[in-house]
Amino acid sequence: MSAAPSGLPAKRIAVVSAGLSQPSSTRLLADRLAEATTRGLASLGESADVEVIELRDLAHDITDNLLTGFPSPALEAAIAAVTSADGVIAVSPVFTASYSGLFKSFFDVVDKDSLAGTPVLIGATAGSPRHSLVLDLALRPLFAYLRSVVVPLGVFAASEDWGSGDETTTTLPDRVARAGEQLADLVAGHTTRRPGAFDADAVVPFEEQLRRLSAE
């Protein structure tokens, strides 16, 4: 793992992309958000290790896990990358006015307590801006249920957003940059600790244990 200029370990950013096509606008948006987050962390004196999880490559593994309860090695590695991350970027295409079934199925096989407190930046893509409410009506409630800390600004990209905006609208690059900065701010002050994880700070030295026993 690389280190930041401060000498601290790099922050781990897991990027979950549920795009089905190649190339995918969903993956493109996910990459842009990751780049913006990396820049935001750099401005705070932090570096980032970014790992991208393409759910289309895990579709059969996810289905098998739902049926059997056992993840494949590849799916297990993907789940571990997400649950151990200091920050998560989660982007889904819009299917029938919500996130895709593949996107939901992946988070169905992730333990419901494993993302508690983790900063999450949400994004979505669709052909029409009419679907922009999917961020607040579908994705935000999902991660609120998982008790994640959802970045205030989610990013929705319709097909027309990949062109140029005008002076009356906020362009996609501007929204991506602001969302990345918000995630970076949350990640910079966050260290992922999970229940049951070894915590060296919580270990009481043997000599101190003896002193406490002698005082009783």
What is the model's pLDDT at position 162?
Answer: 83
pLDDT-derived band at 199, boundaries 50, 70, 90: very low
pLDDT-derived band at 4, boundaries 50, 70, 90: low
Q: In what helix (H) or strand (E) does residue 108 lie, and over which residues does it extend?
A: helix 101-108
Q: Are 109 and 83 in contact (CB under 8 A)?
A: no
Structure tokens at 140: 């935000």
Say if 209 falls within a structural domain. yes
Q: Which domain holds residue 197?
A: 11-215
pLDDT mean across residues, the chain: 88
Say if 2 falls within a structural domain. no
- Percent of the residues in the chain that have a pLDDT greater than 90, as a whole number: 73
pLDDT-derived band at 189, boundaries 50, 70, 90: confident
What is the model's pLDDT at position 184?
Answer: 97
Domain count, the chain: 1
**Closest alpha carbon to 15 in 104, 112, 120:** 120
Residue 105 has pLDDT above 70, yes or no: yes
Say if 4 falls within a structural domain. no
In 63-213 the beta strands, taken as DSSP E runs, fall at 87-95, 98-99, 119-126, 149-150, 155-158
Mean pLDDT along residues 134-155: 97
CATH assignment at residue 46: 3.40.50.360
pLDDT-derived band at 26, boundaries 50, 70, 90: very high
Say if 1 falls within a structural domain. no
